[in-house]
Structure 1
Amino acid sequence: MKITFLGTGTSQGIPVIGSKHPVCLSKNPKDKRLRVSVMVEWDDYNYIIDCGPDFRQQMLANQVTKIDGILFTHEHSDHTAGIDDIRPFFFRQGDIPVFAHERVINSIKTRFDYIFSDVNRYPGAPAVEINIVENNVPFKIGNTKAIPIDAEHNRIQVFGYRIQDFAYLTDVKRIASEEIEKIKGVKVLVINALRLDPHHSHFNLEEALAFIKEVKPDKAYLTHISHHLGFHDELEKQLPKNVHLAYDNLSLYI
């Protein structure tokens, strides 16, 4: 299995527009982060988790020519706003399978009604195949299955996903013990770590490291990172040996 980090930034990305923060002014490519998304490949399958506003740029940067589906964690724009850019894939492949909580599907339907409507359909609009995700109900993707992991993003429910020995969670602030059990035994865990200071709806670095210590993956990668977490190279040196900062276009193999 190959994992590619398409984006590792928070909702505004790094650099933030107009910001003079030192991290936003950094010349290090690893300090420049598009909105968070990851691509998971195995055998001949290629799935995306989240489809934010930088989706087109991410697909071009990684020379992606086919996707077998998109798994959504939740409905916020930095995770869904790129759905119109599935058009080239739709024109080549037909309806693109999407997997999400029913609430998330309804939100996307409202914002991108032309994608879902059969009435007076615009010829250039993409189309999707809807798959509703329910907690505790694993679902088929390609020749394997994805296991939903239920968590809380302040007051919003979010799904993480476990695919074989890989688990991906973002925008998590709280997670129940029974959901943590679903993750244990993974080789690679990806978890959000927004910044150093506490935040009302995201793990900060301390919380993310405590979560990793509880799950005990072979390796863990931090994502959904804001400029307030600090410079990539400086922070990487301070992390435990099995924990790393993810960065855009990083690929790893399981």
Structure 2
Amino acid sequence: MGETTVPILPCRTLQPVLDFYTPLGFEVTFLQRRPNPYAVVERGGIQLHFFGMKDYEPTASYSTCCIRTDDVDALHTAFRSGLRAAYGRIPVRGLPRIGALKDTSYGARQFLMTDPGGNCLRIAQPIDDDPRHRPAPRGTFPRALHHAALLADSKEDLPGAARIIDRALGIQDEEPTPTELLRLLVLRADLAQRSGDTETSRRAQAEAETAAGRLTAGEREALRDDLGRLATLRDGM
């Protein structure tokens, strides 16, 4: 059996989408302008097809696909570098954008990337054989991080995720550990920047930088994804 599944994704016009993918190392292997706009881009084993829809609204798109890889860290690094070269910065909000690399609660290490057509690519490397969501962890702050991350990345509910983080940071009779505090502040800065709230993002980034200065070398290594996200947020301001 030699079946292959190929996603066919919508966009308003082809050229902005093609201009997005080519700096990321994709090659345009097919392009048709008429009678129906259609294009194909390929990079290694990744093949994406696009069709044009004149009245399509990218900001209202729900189209998505999952790309499974055995080296998600390498793809994240390559795509970030390509985006920086193309846009002069790494876009983290609006269209297009690239999200944080992180280990999820459902057995995958992944990041999300959304192109100018509003198509969200979920680029994932399995790290567990069980793809089901894990139960929320015990503990006030790990639980807050768990639920906020799910709201932000699975449901795109940025205000809801921000409320969870703000409640956790406002608790008076319990303190997060240094690593929990750093993760809370980075996620809060990320949510604010994705929502266009630059002032809140700057404030949370500054507090996160202070918290990072108190971490041990071992803690910094354990939080390399969060610290990398903090650096990206700082560069994207």
> TM-score when scaled to structure 1?
0.31
The structure where strand makes up a greater share of residues is 1
* Higher helix fraction (1 or 2): 2
Larger Rg: 2
The structure, 1 or 2, with the larger RCO (C-alpha pairs under 8 Å, 6+ apart) is 1
User: TM-score scaled to structure 2, two decimals?
Assistant: 0.32
